[in-house]
Structure 1
C-alpha cells in the first residue's frame, strides 16, 4: 500500500504549482524579448508561462514567436487554442492563415481568410490596410490556384472550382466592405449635392 501513496506523491510533483506572479513575470519577459526580436529566448519564458496554466495572451504571443522561427505547425496549434478561447476576433484567423500558407495548406488558408473577413465585417473599426492585406493574400492564392489548376486536387485535396469559388466569394465580400465604408466616410451635405 505504501507504493500507492508514493505513486500519488510522484504524480503530484509532475504538475507545476501555479504561480500567477511568475506567470506574469514570464509573460512580460517574453513580450520584451519578442519585441527585441529574440524569439528563441522569448519562447523559453512563454513556455514557462504556458506551463502555469491557460492564458490566451501567452498562447497568442507564443504563436507569433513560432511564426517568426518558421515553426508553423506549432503556431497553428497555439492559434487554434486562442481562436477556441475567442472565436470572434478576426485577426487570429488572419494570423493562422499566414502559417497555413507557409505549410501549403491552401484550403485551410482560404477558410481562415474567409472567417477573418466574416468577423471583420462585424468589427466597428474598419481599417483599409487590413482589407488590402486580405485582398493581396487572396489574389496571390488565386494566381497560385490558376498555376496548379490541373493538379490542385492531387496536391491540395480540394477541387479547383471549390477553392476558386471560395476565393471569389472572399474578394466579393471585401469589395462590399469597401463600398460600405466609402458610403459612411463621405459625408453627404447639401453643398455637395448642389455642386
Structure 2
C-alpha cells in the first residue's frame, strides 16, 4: 500500500511540474503574440494559462487582447479579476473604464476613473499627460450623462446627482494632484534660478 501512495505522489509532482512548465511557455507565447498584435492567437495561449491557475498577468494580457478585438464585455470580466487581485493599481481601473465607455456604461466609466484617480494620486511619478487624459475622458463621460439625464431617471442604480458629485470629486482630485505636483517642482525651479547646483 505504501508503494501506491509513493507512486501517486510522484505522479502528481511530475504532472504539476509539467503543467507549470506548460503554463510558463503559454504565458510567454501569449506575451509574444500580444506584442506582435496577434491578439486572437494570444488569447488561445492565455486561455490555457487561466484555465489551469489564476495568473493576474495572463488575465491582464487577455483583457487587453479582448479590448483590442473590441470584445469589451469579456475585457471587463478579466479586468474585474485583475482588480480583485491587485486593487491598488490605478491603470487597471483606467483600462476597464475604456471598455465600459465602449459599452455605453458611462456611470461605470466615471466610477472607474474616480478609482483610477484615487490610486494615481498615491503614485510618486505624476505625469501631466495622464492627468489630461483622465480629465478629457471625464468631460466626455459627463457630456454623455448630460445628454441622457432627461431620458433616464437613474444610471445603473445611481442618481444623476450622485454621478455629478462623483464627477466633481474627480475634477477636484485632479486639481489637488496638479497643485501638489507644482508645489514639489517649485523649490527646484527656485534653486536653479538662484544658480545653486543640485
* TM-score (ref. length: structure 1): 0.84
Structure 1 residues 71 and 190: CA distance shift in structure 2, 3 A: closer
* Deviation, structure 1 residue 162: 1.7
Aligned length: 178
Partner-residue secondary structure (3-state), 1:189:
helix
Structure 1 residues 113 and 190: CA distance shift in structure 2, 3 A: closer
My pick for the range that moved more, 143-152 or 68-77, is 143-152
RMSD across aligned C-alpha pairs, in angstroms? 1.9
CA distance, structure 2, for counterparts of residue 152 and residue 131 of structure 1: 30
1:189 aligns with 2:195: no
CA distance, structure 2, for counterparts of residue 42 and residue 191 of structure 1: 49
CA distance, structure 2, for counterparts of residue 160 and residue 125 of structure 1: 34
Unaligned runs of 5+ in 2: 1-14
* Deviation, structure 1 residue 188: 5.3
CA distance, structure 2, for counterparts of residue 166 and residue 76 of structure 1: 21
Runs of 4+ in 1 over 6 A off after TM superposition: none
Kindly indicate whether the alpha-carbon contact (under 8 Å) linking 2:106 and 2:144 is maintained by their aligned counterparts in 1: no
Q: Deviations over 1:85-110 (max 9, x none)?
A: 11110111111111111111121111
Structure 1 residues 184 and 52: CA distance shift in structure 2, 3 A: same
Unaligned runs of 5+ in 1: 1-15
